[in-house]
């Protein structure tokens, strides 16, 4: 059996939030190490469709969760609607998303996500497309600074970008980590590693994670039956803001118009209701699993109104 080093975060709360009924069909949009899927099947789901964009996660899936009720699909969750339609599985009763990388991805140095374990500068979840090395060795300084500022919220993004450009070509994660630490000043024993923000930023950029999260929310809106439930776990404020704004606007709690385009008197009918207050991990979960500290769960229930604008209007 494949070893799963990933500890699922807020898993009990996700199962409660999805209010599983026996026989339900649930999408686990981020299968990872199968932690959520196992819990969903344990709670009585009749079928779980596990999506992951990482071919390794899909390949390991059957040994991590050997259960005939599990169907695995190698696909981005932003495309779940098309993938479910092609298999005749629409609509579904619940959708769970657990955003970010898994410990399996982080722990395997050869995937290039980690500044703790040296590996090639890769960071691609789907193992296709541009690598971190290709991006960092080709982009100009302003573009690198923009990415690090926007997705890493690194206040000294300019200095980091300058140091990266001066150190090119970069090929290894340890090399990038030491360039960033030198640029920002790192004292051994410092609480958080200054390379954290830069690694997060490059990963989010390469995998277009924020665009994909928006696409995933819209895909879930189109895939859920009336009364079906959505549960989304995020790990930092950039992601949480996207989920919060989406559910606010879709539940009618936020005007859909903008400064430039005043709101129509009657916008689309709310497609979600019962938007719950965000849930954070208990102190005991945070003590057990430090990775859970920043996690936040948001849940909502699909109404019977049509999905809003099919492709845009996030
Ligand atoms: C935090 S882990 C999920 C862990 C899982 N809930 C568990 O308990 O084992 C996130 C997983 O989602 C996958 N992932 C991230 N973005 C994705 C996307 N847009 N589409 C499909 N899978 C994605 C990653 O490859 C990773 O395996």
74 in Cβ contact with 53 (< 8 Å) = yes
Q: How confident is the model at residue 3 (pLDDT cuts 50, 70, 90)?
A: low
> Ligand 1 centroid vs 239 CA: distance in angstroms?
14
Alpha-helical segments (H) within the chain = 11-18, 35-42, 55-64, 80-86, 103-107, 132-138, 141-152, 157-167, 173-184, 195-206, 209-223, 237-250, 283-288
Tokens representing 255? Answer: 């005007």
6 lines ligand 1 (CB under 6 A): yes
53 CB under 6 A from ligand 1? Answer: yes
Q: Average pLDDT of 185-193?
A: 82
How crowded is residue 279: how many other Cβ atoms within 10 Å of its Cβ?
Answer: 18
Q: How far is the CA of 97 from the centre of ligand 1 (A)?
A: 8
Q: Is 249 helix (H, G, I), strand (E, B) or coil?
A: helix
Kindly report, residue by residue over 278-295, the tens digit of the pLDDT. Answer: 999 999 999 999 889 999
Reduced to 3 states (helix: H, G, I; strand: E, B; else coil), residue 302 is strand
User: Is there an atom of ligand 1 within 6 Å of 235 CB?
Assistant: no
Please give the model's pTM, rounded to 2 decimal places.
0.94
Q: Is the CB of 98 under 6 A from ligand 1?
A: yes
* Pocket of ligand 1 contains residue 37 by CB under 6 Å: no
pLDDT of residue 188: 73
142 CA distance to ligand 1 middle (Å):
30
Q: Is the CB of 74 under 6 A from ligand 1?
A: no
| pLDDT, tens only, 86-131 | 999 999 999 999 999 999 999 999 999 999 999 999 999 999 999 9
């Amino acid at each position: 059996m494949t070893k799963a080093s990933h500890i699922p975060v807020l898993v009990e709360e996700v199962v409660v939030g999805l209010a599983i009924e026996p026989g339900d069909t649930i999408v686990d949009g981020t299968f990872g190490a199968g932690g959520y899927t196992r819990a969903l099947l344990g709670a009585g789901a009749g079928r779980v469709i596990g999506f992951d964009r990482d071919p390794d996660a899909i390949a390991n899936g059957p040994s991590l969760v050997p259960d005939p009720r599990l169907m695995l699909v190698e696909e981005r969750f932003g495309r779940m609607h098309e993938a479910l339609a092609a298999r005749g599985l629409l609509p579904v009763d619940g959708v769970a998303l657990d955003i970010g990388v898994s410990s399996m991805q982080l722990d395997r140095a050869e995937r290039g996500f980690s500044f703790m374990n040296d590996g090639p500068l890769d960071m691609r979840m789907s193992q296709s497309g541009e690598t971190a090395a290709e991006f960092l060795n080709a982009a100009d300084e302003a573009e690198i600074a923009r990415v690090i500022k926007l997705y890493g919220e690194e206040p000294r993004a300019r200095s980091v970008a300058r140091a990266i450009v001066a150190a090119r070509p970069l090929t290894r994660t340890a090399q990038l980590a030491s360039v960033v630490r030198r640029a920002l000043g790192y004292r051994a024993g410092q609480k958080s590693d200054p390379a954290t923000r830069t690694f997060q930023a490059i990963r989010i950029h390469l995998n277009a994670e924020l665009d994909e999260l928006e696409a995933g929310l819209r895909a879930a809106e189109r895939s859920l039956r009336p009364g079906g439930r959505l549960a989304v776990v995020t790990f930092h404020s950039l992601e949480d803001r996207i989920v919060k704004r989406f559910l606010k606007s879709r539940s009618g709690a936020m005007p859909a118009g903008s400064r430039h385009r005043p709101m129509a008197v009657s916008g689309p009918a709310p497609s979600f209701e019962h938007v719950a207050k965000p849930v954070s991990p208990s102190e005991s979960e945070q003590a057990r699993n430090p990775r859970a500290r920043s996690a936040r769960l948001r849940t909502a229930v699909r109404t019977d109104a049509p999905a809003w604008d099919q492709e845009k209007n996030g």
